[in-house]
Structure 1
Amino acid sequence: MLTWEDDVEVHALRNRGWTISAIARHTGRDRKTIRAYLNNERTPGVRKRTEPDPFEPFVDYITCRLREDPHLWARTLCDELEELGYRMSYQTLTRQIRDRELRPVCEHCASATDRPNAVIEHPPGEETQWDWVDLPNPPASWGWGSMAHLLVGSLAHSGRWRGMLAPAMTQPHLVDGLDRICRGLGGLTCSWRFDRMATVCHPDSGRMTASFAGVAKHYGVTVTICPPRAGNRKGVVEKANHTAAGRWWRTLPDDVTVEQAQTRLDEFCRVRSDTRPRRTADGRTTVAALAAAEALSPPPTVPYPAILTESRVVSRQALVSYRGNRYSVPPELASAQVTVTRVLGSEVIDIVTTSQIIIARHRLAPDGAGVMVRDHGHVLALEQVAMAAAGTGGRPHRRKERIPPGPEAIAAARKLRTSDETTTSSSGDSEPTPVPAASTVIDLSTYERAARGRNTLA
């Protein structure tokens, strides 16, 4: 076996006109070895096997299967090969597939991902791109389960983007996010671009739903739906999604509330995203400067009146937490399940029971203000219930406290004993024969007569 240095020397000597025999004598190698390396029949650093390759019999089957299905899992292929007598490891299979280049390139997928992409020009103020991002493992204190959702809106011309956290991807949450993000971006563009999300259009046909048509009319924008399998038409928002997940969500602490996380996101967009440099025909600028020149239309005075509902559990203090504030309910609903209902644009919220009865209405406080909004009647009712419970409940018992039977228990025990004696006396017709008490005086003459009798018998 020749090394790479030996192989380079052999080829250099051959280029100088040396014969194979002369090269063999010079390097101390066999002529057949030199000829094999000069003809590229052998690879430097790879020793020729002296025994048959145990993987070789399976190459044809592997080649055929991967040609039929280029995306076939190697684990599945290993299961099939084991039924055909394959006894080597899964790691050997993957290494051989990789080294022998047995897995072909899928032409259909390559045409979708490697096809030429034209640069789409976006004039200022023309288009806003929208998309949802799934964010796994939110803080447990949010109560959102295993997944949070982030609606991202990005101006296609400048690249400025904003986002809004939501517990679900329903249409009311979408409308709420559209309104808040548009106001954060500074206004409205002429068109909104979406992929085929069911809250905007019918996914099969791509035609807008009747419920979302009212939203578009309220904001005075046209709606553009991406064609199927053409997600790269909204690449600006896709890049914003990648940034939000990798740079903001990945480093979010566990001890933040939803409102604090939203504040952190808005600050990240202003400090990090809006200051990104951009090159234009007029020279270097920033994302914020480009966005300021887009001349966006002002949004409507009030949001579209969608009805936003979220489930909550009432605390033991008869308070309901909603967007960083707490709102009171009657004390009899403590620890109960309720629904907070809010019409977007309204200044009040309704708290509804599971039987769809409105039991409280409060003026909406600013998000994340940390205030406690309480109705005076709720306060009085809660105090009365708490004082009544404190007056009758007494102090709690200690685990190692001594508590002997009380007067009532003693009276009940005396009654049981009396009843038992009465039952015993009335159980027979005749009086029981009294048992004489055992005498404590010992008569020694009895022992003497017994001893005299034994001596007589002897």
Structure 2
Amino acid sequence: MLTWEEDVDAHALRRQGWTISAIARHLGRDRQTIRDYLNGAKTPGRRRQAPDAFAPFLEYCRQRLADDPHLWATTLFDEIIEMGYQGGYSTFTRALRRYYVRPHCEPCQTTQGRDVAIIAHPPGEEIQFDWLELPTPPEEWGGGEHAHLLVGALPHSGRWRAVLAERKDFAHLVQALDQVVRKLGGTARRWRFDRMSTVCYPSSGQVTAAFAAVAKFYGVGVDICPSRRGNHKGVVEKANHSAEQRWWRTVPDGLTVEQAQSGVDRLAAQMDGRRRILDGARTTVGEHADAEVLLEVPAIPFPVEVSVERTVTPQSLVSFEGNSCSVPPGLAGTRVLVRHRLGEDLTSSPPAARSSPATAGHRAGPGGP
């Protein structure tokens, strides 16, 4: 782009008989640039406007935010990237502000500017765990009004992983804990929880004997958040928010539990790419987490028994965590109890005979527990 002074000089030199090449050398510009300004194809001080890459997606974004005013910009960005948007995230957010796409929300304005506390977390010292209640799961899951996601986060690096669980009872908690620490690549020296009744006595915060056995099995200490004192699990709560906004809000009907689990796994791995600046050097959450020294996880999970009820199909099968278990013929439509002691075979038995020997047993497949 030529300045007005350069444009005046170029026209003056041209009238004096200078060639375009000579003018270009004199002004230190490209010959085509000089030619465009002399021909009036370009105007000094004005850059050529590139096509607005956001324009084709404007109406879609308006509709999405009208339907869900609190939808995260990152979630919406993920969606239009899949639709073919070529711009960057910062360009996208500027376009949202320029076009006033997001509806105004007065309650949200009052939450800005709150004081925050920075808590130091040594590497490999702690994993923060928390349950995330997921409303209105697909009916095919058969889990009722809520699905349950156990999220575990390393507060030093910010890496997190999560596991879907059918229930929040003790057995499902232990199963999910084991899977989360394996997804993280190891366990920190201490585990932090809020006052879950499956971990401690809520009134006193003292760890239960049952969970103490779990902690000793994995060789970790247990910290319980003090009553009525928040902000002790801020990293995992932020991870919960990310999982809810960027994954759960986009889960379509008809998705299986296994497919949904793959989706949250992809999101967690994607968020390892978040950029960080540490001691003046650029890095990512994933690189920072890889440098954390974690303890090895036992070769087999803690031997707790998980049990759920299932309905027998006309093919005399029951499904459980990606596996199919066969039962004797003639039980189609019957509710049976599927039992699985972590690290062992699957078993199933009719609810009326739960104390009797199992009617069938099958080893879990590679994708199962």
TM-score (norm 2): 0.67
Distance across 1 between alignment mates of 2:162 and 2:113: 30
What does residue 147 of structure 1 align with? 146
Aligned to 1:130: 129
Residues of 2 paired with 1:279 and 1:345: CA distance?
41
Q: Secondary structure at the match of 1:268?
A: helix
Contact 1:175 1:304 in 2 (8 A): yes
Distance 1:286 1:229 in 2: 33
Deviations 1:187-214 (A, max 9, x none): 0111100000100000000000000000
CA distance in 1, matches of 2:115, 2:284: 29
Question: Hey, what does 1:340 align to over in structure 2?
Answer: 338
Is residue 185 of structure 2 the alignment partner of residue 186 of structure 1? yes
Query: CA separation in 2, counterparts of 1:139 and 1:118?
Result: 38
Corresponding position of 2:226:
227
| SS of corresponding position for 1:333 | coil
| Greater C-alpha Rg | 1
Q: Does 1:242 align with 2:241?
A: yes
TM-align CA RMSD: 1.8
Q: For residues 287-302 of structure 1, what are the structure 2 equivalents within 5 Å? A: 287-302=285-300
Residues in 1 aligned to 2:178 and 2:124: alpha-carbon distance in whole angstroms: 17
Equivalent of residue 318 in structure 1, options 310, 316, 327: 316
| Distance of 2:282 and 2:178 partners within structure 1 | 31
Deviation at 1:116, TM superposition (A): 5.5
What is aligned with 1:284?
282
2:349 aligned to 349, 352, 376, which one?
A: 352
Which residue in 2 is equivalent to 1:163?
162
Q: Is the CA contact (8 Å cut-off) linking 1:260 and 1:368 kept in structure 2?
A: no
Aligned residues of 1:153 and 1:237 also touching (Cα < 8 A): yes
Separation in structure 2 between the aligned mates of residue 300 and residue 197 of structure 1, nearest angstrom: 24
2:301 to 296, 300, 303: 303
Look up the match of 2:50.
Answer: none
Unaligned stretches of 5+ residues in structure 2: 1-110
Look up the equivalent residue of 1:247 and give its one-letter code: R
CA deviation profile, 1:118-146 (whole Å, cap 9, x unmatched): 31100110110000010001001111111
Alignment of 1:13-412 (within 5 A): 117-271=116-270, 273-346=271-344, 348-354=345-351, 355-356=353-354, 357=356, 358-367=358-367
**Residues 1:368 and 1:296: Cα distance change in structure 2 (over 3 Å):** closer
SS at match of 1:238: helix
Give distance in 2, aligned partners of 1:133 and 1:258. Answer: 16
Q: Call closer, same or farther: CA 1:298–1:231 in 2, change over 3 Å.
A: same
Q: Contact 1:352–1:359 (CA<8 Å) still a contact in 2?
A: yes
Q: Distance in 1 between matches of 2:323 and 2:195?
A: 35
Aligned counterparts of 1:205 and 1:115: Cα–Cα separation in 2: 30
Output the CA distance in 2 between the equivalents of 1:176 and 1:368: 12
Matches within 5 A, 1:414-453: none
Amino acid at match of 1:349: L
Deviation at 1:325, TM superposition (A): 2.5
Question: Any gaps of 5 or more consecutive residues in structure 1?
Answer: 1-109, 370-458
| Alpha-carbon distance in 2 for matches of 1:238, 1:311 | 31
The whole-number CA distance in structure 2 between the counterparts of 1:147 and 1:228 is 26
Alpha-carbon distance in structure 2 between the residues aligned to 1:132 and 1:296? 22
Moved over 6 A (4+): none
Amino acid at match of 1:279: I
Q: CA deviation at 1:367?
A: 2.6
2:361 is matched by which residue type in structure 1? R
**1:316-360 deviation per Cα after TM superposition (whole angstroms, max 9, x unaligned):** 1111111122221101212111011011121x1110111213111
Amino acid at match of 2:148: H
Provide the aligned length of Structure 1 versus Structure 2: 256
Structure whose residues are more often helix by fraction: 1
Paired with 1:364 and 1:167, the residues of 2 have a C-alpha distance of 17
Give the secondary-structure state (helix, strand or coil) at the position aligned to 2:273.
Answer: coil
Q: Deviations over 1:161-216 (max 9, x none)?
A: 00011121011111011110101001011110000010000000000000000000
Q: 1:116 to 1:260 in 2, by over 3 A?
A: closer
Following the alignment from structure 2 to structure 1, what is the Cα–Cα distance between the partners of residues 282 and 329? Answer: 62
SS at match of 1:162: strand
Closer, same or farther in 2 for the Cα pair 1:189/1:368, shift >3 Å? closer
**Structure-2 separation of matches of 1:185 and 1:269:** 10
Greater RCO (CA < 8 Å, at least 6 residues apart): 2
2:294 counterpart letter in structure 1: L
